[in-house]
Structure 1
Amino acid sequence: MSEQIEHKETVPESCLGKRLDQALAEMFPEYSRSRIKEWILAGHVSVNGAVISKAREKVLGGEAVIIKAVVEAEQRFEAQDIPLNVVYEDDDLLVINKPADLVVHPGAGNPDGTILNALLHRYPDIAVVPRAGIVHRLDKDTTGLMVVAKNIAAQTYLVDALQHREITREYEAIASGQMTGGGTVDEPIGRHATKRTHMAVTISGRPSVTHFRVMEKFRLHTRLRLRLETGRTHQIRVHMAHIQHPLVGDPLYGGRPRPPKNATPELLSELRGFKRQALHAAMLSLYHPTTGELMTWHADVPEDMVKLTDTLRDDSNENQEVEY
């Protein structure tokens, strides 16, 4: 199974001095850099009308690039019968409400049992779409909405919309510490200098912007609504930890539970037992790749976060000072 693709784009000036394969990987993130390099070496890429067969060729910016290639079905990953909570589906896309403890894409430590494996089983034709149509990811223990493209045209459109910040994603979260008001964290995020599984705010990172507003205050915690302007790995988790308000239960960035003074036994138990980051993708909004219609989906906050919120609220009420 295979599909013919053709892309025509202009190399952005921001790619000045970069290798051709690196520039194309940034321009077409739906394809891996290794796949793009294979296309270059096979003569499937032309720059300003001339076929370029060297991946290390440098670009200046402004060049007209054409890619004509055949995308073969991805055979490396196994199709597996894994349940998916599909909240919307048509010929071009589907929207999934992801549970906790489910990885989106196979990787180190998770060779299978992922959403990608489930997609290959449920939609065999999606094998020709890069990454089985996955446009963006959620961390293993983050719950909520994510969109998947069912064909290459839809994926190209959605990846471009994501890059141009035309897809709106809002999250619910519970953070440590009492926050006084909303705001924006505008700090670049990149790989941590020494902890390779961690991300961090770093001057050499990629631009990253997270907006947040306070929904409810507790004694020593805050329920937040957050909107992503960019979509970096672990973005919300890193940004909230950076401003000293890490998410409850975050195993990488959260540290130990932080109960308030005289916390109720129920709250102590909830905080100690909450083993994932309290983060849920609650709203997704985008323009449909074929119809152009603005579509919006909502996903209820999962039961574990509802219970934690209720327990925090009960603790606040029980410890409220009585005014005489």
Structure 2
Amino acid sequence: MAQLVQLTATVSESQLGQRLDQALAELFPDYSRSRIKEWILEQRVLVNGTISDKPKEKVLGGESVTINAEIEEDVRWEPQDIPLNIVYEDDDILVINKPRDFVVHPGAGNPDGTVLNALLHYYPPIADVPRAGIVHRLDKDTTGLMVVAKTVPAQTHLVEALQLREITREYEAVAIGHMTAGGTVDEPISRHSTKRTHMAVHPMGKPAVTHYRIMEHFRVHTRLRLRLETGRTHQIRVHMSHITHPLVGDQLYGGRPRPPKGASEEFVSVLRKFDRQALHATMLRLHHPISGMLMEWHAPIPQDMVELIEALRVDTELHKDQLDWL
């Protein structure tokens, strides 16, 4: 079954001189440049109402662009008996607590073994719902709460609620650096211009807003509570890196271990062994897509983050006489 894709945008003046495929890849970061190039060659792209089939054609800025394309659904999606940690279920929705090292949706490099494959096995009728009911994602190594639609009406309402920013998602994280106050990062995000697995803050990106507040101070790290207004790929990770406070363990965005001065070998070892971004989706609040009832779920932080935070507390206590903010 093919999924219809209809996209419209206006080329920015700042994109003057870019190739058409490059400009469109920046305007539509959810799709790879190679896929966009295929669509151009297939004459599925209109520029100012006229078909353009030349990926190398230069843009001037200000052009109106429309893409009408189809994406073939992946026929390799197979049910797989993979356990799911289900925290809530009714006739319309599932809420799961996702562990680390668990990809949500099949893709390049991960054709199976995903949350989607597990959902198809757990509840076979979900195959009739687009993307097996998945309406938002967590990164492979981000843990925590996700809602899944079991029916098409539930999915329609959940997608609409996400677009209207009516679903509240809060996260816990440990960031590198001593942060003095909470705040908001309001910076657009797009796919990185050269590293296609990375996202980046970019003026031509999609709007992205992350609110954060401080939960706990450590010597040179900070425990945070964050709330998403939008749900861009890698949003929290990109935004925290952008303000020079990448997440502990996030090697993609600069979160390599930075042990504080005088740290014990034991503490340094804990930091170096923490091999994923310290990020957990801890709270999910939404109106039930069918009943309209306001519902809320909480998932405590997983054991690896518990141990990291405890190690940070011990290190801070050992050096508290050197800290002027205590």
Same structural fold, with TM-score higher than 0.5 when normalized by the shorter chain: yes
Question: Given the alignment of the two structures, is residue 134 of structure 1 paired with residue 134 of structure 2, yes or no?
Answer: yes
Contact preservation (8 Å) 1:209, 1:230: yes
The residue number in structure 1 matching 2:173 is 173
User: Secondary structure at the residue paired with 1:256?
Assistant: coil
- Paired with 1:73 and 1:234, the residues of 2 have a C-alpha distance of 24
* Inter-CA distance 91–58: structure 2 relative to 1 (3 Å threshold): farther
Contact preservation (8 Å) 2:247, 2:255: no
The residue number in structure 1 matching 2:247 is 247
Question: Given the alignment of the two structures, is residue 155 of structure 1 paired with residue 155 of structure 2, yes or no?
Answer: yes
> Cα offset for 1:237?
0.1
Q: Name the aligned partner's letter for residue 122 of structure 1.
A: Y
Write out per-residue CA displacement over residues 234-262 of structure 1, whole angstroms, 9 at most, x where no aligned residue.
00000000000000000200242111100
Question: Given the alignment of the two structures, is residue 294 of structure 1 paired with residue 294 of structure 2, yes or no?
Answer: yes
Question: Given the alignment of the two structures, is residue 108 of structure 1 paired with residue 108 of structure 2, yes or no?
Answer: yes
TM-score (norm 1): 0.78
5 Å-filtered alignment, 1:304-315, equals: 304-315=304-315
* Inter-CA distance 58–287: structure 2 relative to 1 (3 Å threshold): farther
Q: Name the aligned partner's letter for residue 321 of structure 2.
A: E
Q: Name the aligned partner's letter for residue 93 of structure 2.
A: L
Q: Name the aligned partner's letter for residue 137 of structure 2.
A: R
The residue number in structure 2 matching 1:119 is 119
* Ranges in structure 1 where 5+ consecutive residues have no aligned partner: 3-10, 27-32, 38-53, 60-71
The residue number in structure 1 matching 2:66 is none
The residue number in structure 2 matching 1:224 is 224
> Cα offset for 1:157?
0.5
Task: Tell me the C-alpha RMSD between the 2 structures.
Answer: 2.6
- Paired with 1:259 and 1:115, the residues of 2 have a C-alpha distance of 35
* Inter-CA distance 56–85: structure 2 relative to 1 (3 Å threshold): same
The residue number in structure 1 matching 2:285 is 285
5 Å-filtered alignment, 1:1-324, equals: 15=8, 75-321=75-321
Q: Name the aligned partner's letter for residue 137 of structure 1.
A: R
User: Secondary structure at the residue paired with 1:215?
Assistant: strand
> Cα offset for 1:56?
5.3
* Inter-CA distance 319–189: structure 2 relative to 1 (3 Å threshold): same
User: Secondary structure at the residue paired with 1:252?
Assistant: helix
Write out per-residue CA displacement over residues 132-184 of structure 1, whole angstroms, 9 at most, x where no aligned residue.
00010000000000000001111010011001000000000000000001000
> Cα offset for 1:76?
3.2
* Ranges in structure 2 where 5+ consecutive residues have no aligned partner: 12-23, 29-34, 50-71
User: Secondary structure at the residue paired with 1:118?
Assistant: helix
Write out per-residue CA displacement over residues 30-75 of structure 1, whole angstroms, 9 at most, x where no aligned residue.
xxx99xx9xxxxxxxxxxxxxxxx885989xxxxxxxxxxxx9974
Q: Name the aligned partner's letter for residue 93 of structure 1.
A: I
- Paired with 1:100 and 1:307, the residues of 2 have a C-alpha distance of 15
Q: Identity over the aligned pairs, expressed in percent? A: 69
- Paired with 1:307 and 1:313, the residues of 2 have a C-alpha distance of 10
Q: Name the aligned partner's letter for residue 83 of structure 1.
A: P
